[in-house]
Amino acid sequence: AYLFGDLLAISPTDLAWILGGSAGVLVLLVTLWRPLLAITVHEELAKVEGLPVAALRLALMLLIAVVIAVAMKIVGVLLITSLLIIPAAA
């Protein structure tokens, strides 16, 4: 059921984890927006400005991992994989 996603298989406990994970990702994204934007535009300039580039890159990867883990339960592995690959391929 995880291959295509199954909205009817989501229990109230799963929903609480999904909402909590989404809220956590949103809070971290709002908190780290400016530094993430700085390393996205120009990583060397962000390093010169004193931003912890390695830690920010790790935080971004962890945020992406949480979003993928939550989204796999809702929309399925195939759709999440295509949503990650198609924009980069285009």
Per domain, the residue ranges of the chain are: 7-89
Question: Nearest 5 degrees, angle CA 55-CA 89-CA 30?
Answer: 35
What is the rounded end-to-end Cα distance, in angstroms, of the chain?
29
Band of pLDDT at residue 4, cut at 50, 70 and 90? low
The pLDDT score that the predictor gives to residue 14 is 78
Look at residues 54, 26, 27 and name the one whose alpha carbon lies nearest to residue 46: 54
Indicate the range of 5-9, 24-28, 79-83 predicted with least confidence: 5-9
- Give CA–CA dist 67/17, Å, rounded: 12
The pLDDT score that the predictor gives to residue 1 is 46
Phi, psi (deg, nearest 5) at residue 66: -65, -45
Residue 49 contacts residue 60 (beta carbons within 8 Å): no
pLDDT digits (tens, 9 = 90+) for 14-70: 778 888 878 888 998 999 999 999 998 999 999 999 999 999 999 999 988 888 888
